[in-house]
Amino acid sequence: MKAVSCRAGCAACCIAPSISSAIPGMPKGKPAGVPCVQLDEQLRCKIFGQSSRPAVCGQLQASLEMCGPTDDGGQYARIYLTQLEAQTRPG
């Protein structure tokens, strides 16, 4: 998997997947498809690099496979992550 830099205005990884661990402002985590409360107006993480950021957020790395070959405002990544979420949902 080839790593890529996060693209401005995407935020797919902060919207599409569910997060089961606590997030400041979301003590029970967040459901899939719901934007994280820690996204700012520019769709950047307000707690990036802080210890209060869930570990899972730091482990998800942008890649060409996940983000797609071109900057499309995060649509490719949202579709990819939504499908991955559905495929890995328990039950």
User: Structural domain tally of the chain?
Assistant: 1
Nearest to 11, CA basis, from 81, 74, 82: 74
Angle at CA 41, nearest 5°, toward 40 and 45? 25
The candidate with the shortest Cα–Cα distance to 56, out of 19, 84, 91, 30, is 19
Structural domain including 20 reads 1-91
Q: What is the pLDDT of residue 91?
A: 73
Question: Per residue in 1-16, pLDDT tens?
Answer: 677 888 989 999 999 9
Tens of pLDDT, residue by residue over 12-46, are 999 999 999 999 999 999 999 999 999 999 999 99
Beta bridge partners of 19: 30
pTM for this model (two decimals): 0.88
